[in-house]
Structure 1
């Protein structure tokens, strides 16, 4: 683990956030936008307030138990956090198709501002980062050597600084999830800690299936 990713050693299958690693998640950071507006852009139906990540995970587990197959909604919680240039909204979605991978959602929440997402696919070693400015994808990737967006080379120095390889494979043992979180911090100024997620009071919403799609509702 590099010095850049050491602050994200709490991201572990054995830690509370391990539930998100197993269920799949999107963590989205949006500058200067109210949490309620971020949930509205997600098409979310308000679902109350939950104290702490453990309660958010338990609520998601209960949602899964209500269905024989995959539920027709995902659970998202939002909080306000300090970052570069003022307050940011942090949205954490558990399960589902992943708001952080939805161009429709990311374009909507980044209108006139910046939005950054880190998304982990459940059960597979896949992590994605997307950086939007004013509705435009600047840089996005799963593997840093294969980037897309209007400015695919804009993050080359930062990608290298967090221990990833912008031109090839990472060295064996690279903690890619920690590196992606460290890169998101460099783009937002938001330091995400296990304590922050564990102790937060989340305003929650149920995101209906299809909201993630290009033609989905609510955006």
Structure 2
């Protein structure tokens, strides 16, 4: 296992970082062990667009993609490549400007293997981390103190070691994005560097985002400090 910490990923914030465009536009970065780029794109039912050299060219393709779709489309542009990690080769998939980490896709992708992903919606305080193993979400979070999955506490030690922490005070002081990069490396053995991102040959493809289910109402379920519960269901036609 590597000993990566947030300090190893401070480069993502530099003015010359090749990852700055992804941070600004939003992204999903997925690492999956033992699944080839072609297999990942097939599972995602993606429509291939060709190959590009390096993250700068992938970012340029994303800009062109946005122009083609007038800034909005049901698809996201993704680039995939093979990278070395623990126990052999991994596939790195980077989707710009959208989500490549829907729960259904991640469960399918992680069948018989491990998948780790993190994402940001671009410039807003919404950042996500997910670790899947054998088709099951093991640990996921937006704010590390509130975790979901079948083993919500298994990564607690690593979360602290990479510099993220589990208290609100620790989390507020941390570079959350750099720490999540380090946590991902701890689970995959894949060191993401500026050189890796800029030298990779990415297979590019359009991937359909998972459609949002139509909502029928909301549920308000609150228990106050005195143990008094308020439970209200409101249909959308009543709002």
TM-score by length of 2: 0.83
2:86 maps to which residue? 84
Q: 2:8 aligned with 1:7, yes or no?
A: yes
C-alpha distance in 2, partners of 1:84/1:11? 23
C-alpha distance in 2, partners of 1:111/1:76? 21
Q: Is the contact between residue 50 and residue 204 of structure 2 (CA under 8 Å) also seen in structure 1?
A: yes
Structure 2 counterparts to residues 67-146 of structure 1, below 5 A: 67-96=69-98, 98-100=99-101, 102-146=102-146
* Higher strand fraction (1 or 2): 2
Considering Cα pairs closer than 8 Å and 6+ residues apart, tell me whether 1 or 2 has the greater RCO.
1
C-alpha distance in 2, partners of 1:184/1:63? 28
Q: 2:185 aligned with 1:185, yes or no?
A: yes
Count the aligned residue pairs.
210
Please tell me whether Structure 1 or Structure 2 has the larger radius of gyration of its CA atoms.
2
TM-fit CA distance, 1:172: 4.5
Q: Please list every run of 5 or more consecutive structure 1 residues that lacks an aligned counterpart in the other structure.
A: 215-219
Q: Please list every run of 5 or more consecutive structure 2 residues that lacks an aligned counterpart in the other structure.
A: 214-239
Runs of 4+ with deviation above 4 angstroms: none
TM-fit CA distance, 1:208: 2.1
TM-fit CA distance, 1:120: 1.1
2:59 maps to which residue? 57
TM-score by length of 1: 0.90
1:66 maps to which residue? 68
Cα RMSD, aligned residues only: 1.8
Q: Is the contact between residue 5 and residue 182 of structure 1 (CA under 8 Å) also seen in structure 2?
A: yes
